[in-house]
Structure 1
Amino acid sequence: MKTDFKFSNLLGTVYCQGNLLFSPDGTCLFSPVGNRVSVFNLVDNTSHTLPFAHRKNISRIGLTPRGNLLLSVDDEGHAILTNVHRRISIYHFSFRSPVTALAFSPSGRHFAVGLGRKTEVWHVPSTPDSSAQGELEFAPFVRHHTHMGHFDDVRHIEWSNDSRFFLTASKDLTTRIWSVDAEEGFIPTVLSGHKQAVVGAWFSNNQETIYTVSKDGAVFDWQYTRHPNAPSRDEDEDMGDADDEDMRWRIVRRHYFMQGSAHVRCASFHPQSNLLVTGFSNGIFGLYEMPDFNAIHTLSISQNDIDFVTVNKTGEWLAFGASKLGQLLVWEWQSESYILKQQGHFDSMNDLVYSPDGKRIITTANNKIKVWDVDSGFCIVTFTEHTGDVTACEFAKKGNVLFTSSLDGSIRAWDLVRYRNFRTFTAPARLSFSCLAVDPSGEVVAAGSLDSFDIHIWSVQTGQLLDQLAGHEGPVSALAFTPDGGLLVSGSWDYTARMWSIFGRTQTSEPLQLQANVLGIAVRPDSAQLAISTLDGQLTFWSIAEGEQVSGLDGRRDVSGGRKVSDRRTAANVPGTKSFGTIRYSTDGSCLLAGGSSKYICLYSVSTMVLLKKFTVSVNLSLSGTQEFLNSKQLTEAGPEGLLDDEGDNSDREARQDKSLPGTKRGVDPSERQKLPEVKVSGVGFSPAGTSFCAASTEGLLIYSLDNDLQFDPFDLNMEITPASTLAVLETEKDYLKALVMAFRLNEAGLIKRVFQAIPYTDIPLVVEQFPTVYVARLLRFVAAQTEESPHFEFCLLWIKALVDKHGSWLTANRGKVDVELRVVARAIARMQNEIRRLADENVYMVDYLLGQAETKNASTDDKGLLTNGDDTPMKMLASGEEGVGERVDSDEESDGEWIGLG
């Protein structure tokens, strides 16, 4: 089994904090999720997460006007410059203080950052294909200028269209106008007049008006004009240059939002269409047309604060982010419809499971069940029928039926075709179910509880309780059916695991004695082996047929790691993390995946009992348990500094309000996250294909997959390999093998397709026989993809046949490496077979229909006496050139033309 799994995507979390960005073409939305950045393609309806990770949660992100460079900054001011198209981090840099605002200039030459009370302007790092700067810089980040003057944090930066000036809005109630370079006659200007912190400031499209919005809902229009009470130019001609001295930025209009006690949390302005969008603290957003301040829309989209809003380049789509509920919305205001509406789990997940087809992942947290599409990365549906925390979920092996257990005392069955709850199972007494198992046939469901020591079994068809299995002396913590459906395995806190033969004539159970509480159970796909995880960190493997332990390993040292903020001991000596809470076998049964209250996921080999690989879930220092050593300076007399409640020291009155109820742990809002949540893995699962696995962690749903998409390899290139030289080899030299290899080295889809279609079908076996083995897998996948795009079925089949004939031995020996490609080819051939069969059937039916029509026509003409067979009656003919098919001609008409069967 291949073990080189790499992080590929992050689901379950769509927005945490910070600002949102649209791509220059307006089709993609960049959203910070913890210490990573997710990109949502709003046209193709897909999403992916960039592979880099910060050491803290991201606070600000910025994108160049060309959309090729992304600058992300975390809470401590550490920045990462990323190539968006290649998804590669280019450079790491530190601003040495928290960044409160970030904006790139429209020209792409500079970007401005707000570092507390000061503002710095930096040169944008140049790229080899950049036309803005002619030469590459020695240092990627070069500071251009530093501006001082504000007395509080800068919250917003906006550039002018010509990139000569920019605005800074601060919490000190003022907005300032700065110039990038020294301008003749320009003096930095202060725009003061607001009574609360300024949320944002923008230039109009013609740069003659400045709009500023404050927290108390005031909108001011500023224009560069003379005092209204000053004498006119005609009356005062002798003042000379005094008129210029009287010209300054003044407030010409004042507008106010009417939202009661709610205050403005965020705002955005689109200069081309003069649209002003504001988000309020009560979850309402408003859309206004400036400068007349005409209200267009007012809509409630959230139950909590709207933290950020932005508008795409065309002004059609509005993006909103709400951090407390983890919501991300994209609204098209003209059609009044949602383009994107996603919300992640706002608490740690409890369990997960892959669907049998591997296309969906089910996650549970609190009372919600979410269905995620693996390909797109979006949540398809959310179920909220449970009234208590959902503890476990399991799929029936056949069909689209999902079963979930909850602390509300119910087991529910869900139809994932119609997305509804069609069956609910309950016990005679009120119990809190903690684990669940479903028979492979889908006819029986079993559940264990922490309140009762019995195992309850229901019939899925009738919904009736069939039996209660008694035998455990402690709470049942884990359940699992063997894949062949013969046995039910249960684990309990009474230091035992039992195997039940519930379908036998006599229901017997065989206890397996362990040394600690059972936390997790996994059965190998061949139903021959059982793996059990216990509280002392041991993994034991048992033979199901003999009921004896065959091997075991100590995983305490592997799983221990990461010191929590409140730990008094080092990470190696903390006993709470030295166990695996969830374990799963791989699809082929050769490996075991294990995770627990730790930042590590361990992959073990079942045959050799060796740790194959250890995956680090998170390096985010905003979570507790990700660092090995703690700083003693952060330990105070009142406890760790990270756990102290410092909200009472906030400068904003709303932030100081404590809305929690006395005596409650979570407060009135169950979505409020605690400070420094602990990193842990509550569930793991392998995909049915075995090419990926997922883990439910504190940060979200992490997807790790094999690197099937081969990346661009620059080491196979030289200066002579270009698209022009490839086409020259193809068309001039007629060297098809060389041209195909050069196209694969350049890795351009259009060029590969052109070379592929230009190769004559007679030369396919010769080209494939000499084709390098390193590119066989890529060629196989490319041909399979062409079967879906190209109408040349036989041409693609000749390529597939040649690849199997010439490289069959290599494909057999490397089945694990090309398993995905072979499945794609098999699916393509099956699709072509069905298509050809359908066309052949249609052609047969058409031929039969045409023959039947001809026989009917002949019979009808014989009955009328117009056409005879064998007698001397003359045929009546049509003149050549006349239209008709066997038309009737009167006997008294003369015609010397020929008989036209089809006119």
Structure 2
Amino acid sequence: MKSDFKFSNLLGTVYSQGNLVYTDDGTKLLSPVGNRVTCFDLINNKSFTFPYEHRRNVARVALNKQETLLLSVDIDGRAILVNFKARTVLHHFNFKDKVYDIKFTPDSHHFAVAVGRFIQVWKTPDFQEDRQFAPFVRHRIYAGHFADVTSINWSSDSRFFISTSKDLTSRLFSLDSEESSIAMTFAGHRDTVINAFFSADQEIIYTISKDGALFQWEYTKKPTDDSDSEDDDEEEPSTNPKRMSWRITKKNFFFASAKVKCAAFHPESKLLTVGFSNGEFRLYELPDFNMIQQLSMGQNEVNTVSINKTGEWLAFGSAKLGQLLVYEWQSESYILKQQGHFDSTNCLSYSPDGSRVVTASDDGKIKIWDVVSGFCLATFEEHSSAVTAVKFAKRGQVMFSASLDGTVKAWDLIRYRNFRTFVGTERIRFNCLAVDPSGEVVCAASEDTYDIYVWSVQTSQLVDTLSGHKGPVSCLSFGVENSVLASASWDKTIRVWSLFDRSGHVEPFEVNSDVLALAMRPDSKEVAVSTLNGQVQFWDIENAKQTGNIDGKKDIIGGRYLEDRFTAKNAARSKHFTTIDYSFDGLTLVAAGNNNSICLYDIPNEVLLKRFTVSKNMEIDGTLEFLNSSRMTEAGSLDLIDRDGELSDLEDRLDNTLPGAKRGGDPSLRNTRPAIRVNSIQFSPTAASFAAASTDGIMIYSIDDRVIFDPFDLDIDITPEATLECLSEKEWLNSLVMAFRLNERYLIHKVYESIPVQDIPIVANDLPIVYIEKLLSFIGDIAMTSQHIEHNLLWIKALISSHGKYINKNKHQFNKAFRAINRFIARIGKEIVKVAKDNEYSYLFLKTANANSEEDQEMEFEGFNDEDDDQIVVDASDDDSEEDEEEGEDDDQENGGWFTSKKMEITLAGSDDSDEEDGDDDQ
């Protein structure tokens, strides 16, 4: 199994704080998630997270018009310049103060940064210019504000920009020093000015303050007295520039009970969107100030709003609950509506086909995430307390969850509903769960009692209570191949139960420390346990003896909390693993715990293959091994001092939370710092990735096979040119084998799709055994994106028909390939059923129309037979044919014969076509 895993995506968190940015085409949306940035593709329904990390949470994001440079700044003012296309870091820079806004000019030649009460304008790095010493070259610093700058907006021609501040004013600046006389101060608001915008023709400037006032400014003449002469009124503005100035021409007020938190303006459509602190947002048409819509996205404040280039989609972000909405205002529908867990994620589980991840949290919610798109598909809220465990049945259509509310629930993932609820003889808090591979039995245990409860899924009745442990049961696990249940307890024992054996044989294994995590190998012959002393032990179930041991203490990266009076080296709380999992082949183990590391081990050799750092975010406790001594005082760390009381806004200074509370009240506000931990980890059934439920969210680590050169049985005579030449000579089998020996994906794809349909069974039958698994895995990888559905199905059928016996004898070799193929077939099946349902009434309409045409045809035949045939016979060779035709036409117009015959011919032709179409549909 390959070990070259890399971070690929972050699920479970869609927005944390800061601003939202659309790409220039308006199809992608950039959102800050903690100390990372996620990009949502709204058209293709996909998302990805950039691999780089900031040292603190991201505060502002900016993207240039060409979509090549991404600039993200954290709350300390440290910026990272990223190549948006390649997703690589180009440069690090420190602005040395808090950044409130950052914007590229429309022509992308400069960008402006609001740093404190100053505005810095920098030149955008450009490879076309001469090489310069520093990537960032500062153009100018603009001063004039007496308090922090809140926003910056550029004019459409990139010549001017307008800034707003907490000093109740807005200021107009010019990029060129020659136009410095254009500088202007806009005063008149009675509260913080949060934003200002130019109109499309730059003749009007709009300013919005926090108290709900919208001022319209225009460059007009100074009002004159009646005593002035008419000559002065007719004087040209250019001859008397003192007469012209920016003045308020109109004042509008929102008259809302809440404060204005954010605003966005689309100059082309004159659409103004405003978000309020009570979760309400409104749409206005300017300059008439007509309210178009008024909606609410919840009870929490709207922190940011953004409009795409066409003005159709509005993006809203709410930081308290981590909500992200993309709203199409014309159709009044949501394009995207996502919200992550607002409490710690306790556990996760992959579906059997690896396409979905289910997470459960302390907030009592269960969420289903699509691995490819990164979006939440469904949320279950029936549990009344924290959910501690989730498991899938073998087929993936049923899911089970255990909760501290004393229930175990079964969920139907086809209809998305709860269909079974299992309870014990008394109300106890379940903390671990296991499901039989057949899906007939579900087991759960609690730290309150020492027993294991067993229920029948069919009847939802408690069928057995397994007793024997002398301490709280900490974890349960079933094997994949047979119904062997393993349980671990604080009494330092592991017990293996044969549930369906009449003898009820129980095998206890003595362990030298408390067991924190347990995992069973997929073949159900070995069990691995993680203990409190940092060891990972492996036990052979059949022989009841220990087969291996890994000392994990030396591999764990321990961090120091801000309150700690001891070093990270002496911290005992993180020197063990609390979650472990086997790979599909049973040769690799992944382990994590209440620390900043994920360890990947090779089981036969008992060595560490790779270690991953979970997060570098300094906002989370435990990510640093050494603390900054300059931040330490006699009273503790300066980072622990609550400075909210120094804020300038009253609503930001108020704190209604309980000190030290992690739950209760508003779950998003807490006075304790979050600590780094991984609560659950699991390998994907396809073995190409694994997921970890961390403090930041659900982190997906995967292998990118496309960039790995891994030839198989390569010979000096086998080259891409020789393979293509063999393909041109129609030697299908040889070219396919040569492509697999080179292991070049593009070459395999070309040969695979070049083989004719009629030759697929022959090539599949003659294919050597060693290439069967490789070909099936390749089909499983490309099938989800390939348009050739029937071609892929024919290959799968031919391979199984020709090599079914070998595949059945060596199931373990084909597990990964068949999981990918099952996923492809399941998704294609759903799409076909959906298309059939969508077109059901169209088919019935066409069928009815065809039946009506046949009835019309029969009626026309009857009318035609009743007429006199001699009256419509025309002799084309007769000289008097024209007269005969006229007589025949007159007679037939009276009797209807000629028209009926012609109509019959047309109807017959049409009915033939409709019959063919109907036959095609039936096929």
Output the TM-score relative to the length of structure 2: 0.81
The answer to whether 1:286 aligns with 2:288 is no
2:168 corresponds to:
173
Partners of 1:138 and 1:706 lie apart in 2 by 37
Map residues 806-845 of structure 1 onto 2, 5 A cutoff: 811=771, 830-832=792-794
Amino acid at match of 1:652: D
Partners of 1:599 and 1:525 lie apart in 2 by 28
Q: Secondary structure at the match of 1:288?
A: strand
Relative distance call for 1:520 and 1:760 in structure 2 (3 A) is same
Map residues 372-383 of structure 1 onto 2, 5 A cutoff: 372-383=369-380
Contact 1:499 1:510 in 2 (8 A): yes
The answer to whether 1:682 aligns with 2:650 is no
The answer to whether 1:397 aligns with 2:394 is yes
The answer to whether 1:604 aligns with 2:636 is no
1:871 corresponds to:
none
Q: How far does the alpha carbon of each residue in 1:219-254 deviate from its partner, in whole angstroms, 9 at most, with x for none?
A: 010111123345677352799988411321111111
The answer to whether 1:706 aligns with 2:668 is no
1:255 corresponds to:
252
2:15 corresponds to:
15
Partners of 1:376 and 1:782 lie apart in 2 by 27
Deviation at 1:96, TM superposition (A): 2.2
Q: Secondary structure at the match of 2:242?
A: helix
Relative distance call for 1:566 and 1:781 in structure 2 (3 A) is farther
The answer to whether 1:537 aligns with 2:534 is yes
Amino acid at match of 2:106: P
Partners of 2:261 and 2:876 lie apart in 1 by 85
Moved more, 416-425 or 631-640: 631-640
Partners of 1:693 and 1:666 lie apart in 2 by 29
2:191 corresponds to:
196
Contact 1:783 1:799 in 2 (8 A): no
Deviation at 1:764, TM superposition (A): 6.4
Map residues 99-118 of structure 1 onto 2, 5 A cutoff: 99-118=99-118
The answer to whether 1:637 aligns with 2:634 is yes
Deviation at 1:740, TM superposition (A): 9.6
Contact 1:80 1:89 in 2 (8 A): yes
Q: How far does the alpha carbon of each residue in 1:372-421 deviate from its partner, in whole angstroms, 9 at most, with x for none?
A: 01111110000000000000011111241100000000000001111000
2:265 corresponds to:
269
Contact 1:76 1:98 in 2 (8 A): yes
The answer to whether 1:495 aligns with 2:463 is no
Map residues 351-370 of structure 1 onto 2, 5 A cutoff: 351-366=347-362, 367-370=364-367
Q: Given the alignment, which residue of 203, 212, 230 partners 1:208?
A: 203
2:59 corresponds to:
59
Map residues 315-354 of structure 1 onto 2, 5 A cutoff: 315-354=311-350
1:220 corresponds to:
215
Partners of 2:34 and 2:764 lie apart in 1 by 46
Map residues 143-162 of structure 1 onto 2, 5 A cutoff: 143-162=138-157
Contact 1:347 1:673 in 2 (8 A): no
Map residues 241-252 of structure 1 onto 2, 5 A cutoff: 243-252=240-249
Q: Secondary structure at the match of 1:236?
A: helix
Partners of 2:423 and 2:740 lie apart in 1 by 62
The answer to whether 1:519 aligns with 2:516 is yes
Map residues 115-126 of structure 1 onto 2, 5 A cutoff: 115-126=115-126
Deviation at 1:706, TM superposition (A): 0.7
Deviation at 1:66, TM superposition (A): 1.2
Partners of 1:482 and 1:767 lie apart in 2 by 41
Contact 1:116 1:152 in 2 (8 A): yes
Q: Given the alignment, which residue of 547, 561, 580 partners 2:558?
A: 561
Relative distance call for 1:796 and 1:644 in structure 2 (3 A) is farther
Contact 1:126 1:136 in 2 (8 A): no
Partners of 1:800 and 1:677 lie apart in 2 by 58
2:409 corresponds to:
412
Partners of 2:515 and 2:509 lie apart in 1 by 11
Relative distance call for 1:324 and 1:761 in structure 2 (3 A) is farther
1:660 corresponds to:
657
1:311 corresponds to:
307
Amino acid at match of 1:320: F
Q: How far does the alpha carbon of each residue in 1:285-329 deviate from its partner, in whole angstroms, 9 at most, with x for none?
A: 011111111111110112211110010001000000011100100
* RMSD, aligned α-carbons: 3.4
Deviation at 1:60, TM superposition (A): 0.7
Q: Secondary structure at the match of 1:183?
A: helix
Partners of 1:301 and 1:712 lie apart in 2 by 49
Partners of 2:593 and 2:705 lie apart in 1 by 28
Moved more, 680-689 or 564-573: 564-573
1:776 corresponds to:
744
Normalized per residue, the structure richer in helix is 2
Relative distance call for 1:235 and 1:386 in structure 2 (3 A) is same
Partners of 1:546 and 1:337 lie apart in 2 by 61
Deviation at 1:644, TM superposition (A): 2.3
Map residues 707-726 of structure 1 onto 2, 5 A cutoff: 707-710=704-707
Output the TM-score relative to the length of structure 1: 0.82
Partners of 1:237 and 1:294 lie apart in 2 by 33
Q: Secondary structure at the match of 2:706?
A: coil
Amino acid at match of 1:543: D
1:485 corresponds to:
482
The answer to whether 1:91 aligns with 2:86 is no
1:76 corresponds to:
76
Identity of aligned residues (%): 49
The answer to whether 1:475 aligns with 2:472 is yes
Contact 1:482 1:488 in 2 (8 A): yes
Contact 1:401 1:416 in 2 (8 A): yes
Partners of 1:154 and 1:798 lie apart in 2 by 70
Partners of 1:7 and 1:419 lie apart in 2 by 31
Moved more, 618-627 or 280-289: 618-627
Amino acid at match of 2:147: D
Contact 1:560 1:572 in 2 (8 A): no
Contact 1:125 1:137 in 2 (8 A): no
Contact 1:559 1:596 in 2 (8 A): no
Contact 1:660 1:666 in 2 (8 A): no
Relative distance call for 1:115 and 1:306 in structure 2 (3 A) is same
Unaligned segments of structure 2, at least 5 residues: 711-718, 802-828, 830-873, 878-911, 914-923
Map residues 865-880 of structure 1 onto 2, 5 A cutoff: none
2:507 corresponds to:
510
Relative distance call for 1:571 and 1:814 in structure 2 (3 A) is farther
Q: How far does the alpha carbon of each residue in 1:14-58 deviate from its partner, in whole angstroms, 9 at most, with x for none?
A: 001111000100000011111111111111111111121112111
Deviation at 1:279, TM superposition (A): 0.6
Q: Secondary structure at the match of 1:709?
A: helix
Amino acid at match of 1:326: G
Contact 2:479 2:520 in 1 (8 A): yes
Relative distance call for 1:363 and 1:801 in structure 2 (3 A) is farther
Contact 1:289 1:296 in 2 (8 A): yes
Deviation at 1:487, TM superposition (A): 2.1
2:858 corresponds to:
none
Partners of 2:485 and 2:190 lie apart in 1 by 69
Q: How far does the alpha carbon of each residue in 1:160-184 deviate from its partner, in whole angstroms, 9 at most, with x for none?
A: 0110000111111111111111234
Contact 2:740 2:748 in 1 (8 A): no
Deviation at 1:473, TM superposition (A): 1.8
Amino acid at match of 2:205: I
Deviation at 1:691, TM superposition (A): 0.8
- What is the total number of aligned residue pairs between the two structures? 795
